[in-house]
Amino acid sequence: VSLRVEAAAGSGAWVEVTPLALFSSQDDALASVDEYGRVTVRGRGLAAILVRYRGLVAAAHVGAAYGPPRPAPAPTEATSTID
């Protein structure tokens, strides 16, 4: 997921300011965010991504109901015998 940040210009038009915003995650174990606003969910749960621009702060909540897939168990040899 990529976040996009917009701000109202003096003319009233909306301008994209994503490259000028600062991003941080409340919980890097659940979700991380890079300097471009790209969010990577790493585990199950809910985390807030904080966005700062010119003294203003906003939060985007991201989450996942399921964590990353678990690897399949290694196959085992059968140990029982049939008489």
- DSSP line for 26-47: S-TTTEEE-TT-BEEE-SSEEE
pTM value is 0.73
* Percentage of the chain lying above the pLDDT 70 cut: 88
How high does pLDDT run on average in the chain?
Answer: 87
Note the pLDDT tens digit of each residue in 7-20. Answer: 999 898 999 999 99
Q: What are the pLDDT digits (tens) for 49-60?
A: 999 999 999 999
Cβ atoms of 57 and 51 closer than 8 Å: yes
